[in-house]
């Protein structure tokens, strides 16, 4: 936790911002853990009109994820995992902290948190015409469990980041990216391998993490406009009824802190979006759109990638709730080093198990946008433009990710510098791709 004087400064700044925007005072709820919440004194229609500090009806979300900052991913920062590249014994943040021990892990991670993303990044994001950042955080930062190897200290830097966003004029979506025992088995959940979420007390522990996160930033709703309850719960491997129950309890936990937050629900990889968000005010549905994580998808031609992206536009447009494409990229291949896990190959060049060769990963395994082939540059630019056109047919988009060490198809900072991400954002070299 930050010091008392810092807390007072943050609170005072937020109060002034709230007064300047003449927003309604937060409605108080008391989360009881039983899925019930007392009735608010402000009507739902009033909340929808007045509470959230970004107009998700009238403005487009144009954002970027700050991946690999507070939740490690080997493919984003391979240098952090380089000493285990041969043994494959350290593959995620859980094994990283367990292997190093809390003292050494804390020292290394504090350096990473303080240097990987800085105030200059927030300013550059705003200068590129974006209005949101989505910031992934693990449960262990806000509700650590006894016996876990993870280390804390992220929130001190996240507090700074909120002020950087405020200064740059950006809104923040906070995203609980990892749940206890992993909600999907991906390394980006903090713990690679089996899926243990929904077992034991893991769901109630996740609600506690959400409650703690919302309580910490309930005075910053001029900047923190939305909280995502959980990133990518793997619906096909989990109990969907249990996910819905968690979403209900998590939403109530967020609203008990402040009605000024929007609640973000990931679609759990379901195509039936109608099942999410009923009965909750200011809900944003989050869907993630990648076309590279199966042999058939990665085998598509560049024009087929564009066609599939454009095809999503009408479905987004017909959705009766706010919906963002909260993760997407310029990648038409899965070539980036360790994208599929530390030490694992790619489907695109046939080096991943049970895949077939589609093409060469040269220039896309590691490198920079400047060193991509002319064909790759053309295809990436065209694909990004098509996705922008499709995803702005409703609430908007959040690109994955702002910065990597060496993955050019995914690195928005590098794509902007290389002219592959449009500037201004509505500039088109390939207009009319989506009709």
Residues labelled catalytic: 232, 327
* Residue pair 216/232 in contact by the 8 Å Cβ criterion: no
How far, in Å, CA of 293 to CA of 275, rounded? 25
Determine contact, residues 66/133, Cβ cutoff 8 Å: yes
CB-count burial class (<10 Å; 0-12, 13-18, 19+) for 87: exposed
Based on the number of CB atoms within 10 Å of its own CB, is 290 exposed (0-12), middle (13-18) or buried (19 or more)? middle
Beta strands in 255-316 (DSSP E): 262-266, 283-288
- Exposed, middle or buried by CB within 10 Å (0-12, 13-18, 19+), for 144? middle
Distances (CA, A) of 155 to 1, 160, 255, 281, 386: 7, 9, 21, 27, 36
Phi, psi of 174 (to 5 degrees): -90, 135
- Alpha-carbon dihedral angle through residues 65, 69, 72, 75, given to the nearest 10 degrees: 60
- Look at residue 308 and give its three-state secondary structure: helix
Q: 228 CB contacts (<8 Å, ≥6 apart)?
A: 134, 173, 174, 175, 176, 264, 265, 266, 286, 326
Contact 283, 251 (CB under 8 A): yes
Q: Which residues pair with 265 in a beta bridge?
A: 285
How far apart are alpha carbons 400 and 244 in whole angstroms? 26
Closest alpha carbon to 61 in 418, 393, 422: 393
Task: Tell me if residue 411 falls in helix, strand or coil.
Answer: coil
């Amino acid at each position: 936790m930050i010091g008392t004087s810092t807390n007072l400064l943050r609170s005072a700044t937020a109060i002034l911002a709230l007064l300047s925007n003449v927003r309604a005072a937060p409605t108080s709820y008391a989360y009881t853990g039983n899925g019930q919440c007392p009735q608010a004194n402000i009507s739902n229609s009033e909340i929808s009109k007045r509470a959230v500090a970004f107009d998700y009806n009238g403005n487009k979300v144009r954002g970027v994820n700050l991946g690999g900052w507070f939740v490690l991913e080997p493919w984003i920062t391979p240098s952090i995992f380089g000493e285990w590249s041969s043994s494959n014994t350290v593959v995620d943040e859980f094994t990283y902290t367990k292997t190093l021990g809390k003292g050494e892990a804390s020292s290394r991670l504090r350096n990473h948190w303080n240097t990987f993303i800085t105030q200059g990044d927030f300013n550059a994001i705003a200068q590129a015409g974006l209005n949101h950042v989505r910031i992934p955080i693990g449960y262990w930062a806000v509700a650590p469990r006894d016996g876990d190897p993870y280390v804390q200290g992220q929130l001190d830097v996240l507090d700074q980041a909120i002020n950087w966003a405020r200064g740059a004029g950006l809104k923040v979506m906070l995203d609980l990216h990892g749940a206890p025992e992993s909600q999907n088995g991906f390394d980006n959940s903090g713990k690679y391998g089996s899926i243990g979420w929904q077992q034991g007390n893991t769901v109630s522990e996740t609600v506690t993490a959400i409650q703690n996160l919302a309580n910490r930033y309930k005075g910053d709703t001029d900047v923190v406009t939305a909280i995502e309850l959980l990133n990518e719960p793997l619906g096909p491997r989990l109990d969907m009824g249990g996910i819905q129950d968690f979403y209900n309890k998590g939403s109530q936990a967020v609203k008990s802190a402040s009605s000024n937050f929007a609640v973000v629900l990931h679609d759990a990889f379901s195509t039936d979006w109608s099942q999410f968000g009923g009965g909750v005010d200011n809900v944003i549905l989050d869907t993630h759109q990648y076309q590279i994580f199966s042999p058939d998808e990665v085998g598509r031609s560049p024009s087929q990638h564009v066609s599939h992206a454009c095809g999503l536009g009408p479905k987004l447009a017909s959705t009766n709730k706010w919906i963002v494409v909260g993760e997407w990229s310029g990648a038409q291949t899965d070539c980036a080093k360790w994208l599929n896990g530390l030490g694992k190959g790619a489907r695109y060049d046939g080096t991943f198990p049970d895949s077939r060769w589609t093409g060469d990963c040269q220039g896309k395994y590691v490198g920079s946008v400047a060193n991509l082939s002319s064909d790759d540059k053309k295809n990436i630019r065209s694909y990004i433009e098509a996705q922008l056109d499709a995803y702005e047919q409703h609430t908007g988009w959040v690109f994955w990710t702002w910065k990597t060490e060496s993955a050019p198809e995914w690195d928005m900072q590098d794509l902007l510098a290389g002219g592959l991400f449009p500037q201004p954002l509505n500039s088109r070299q390939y207009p009319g791709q989506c009709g």
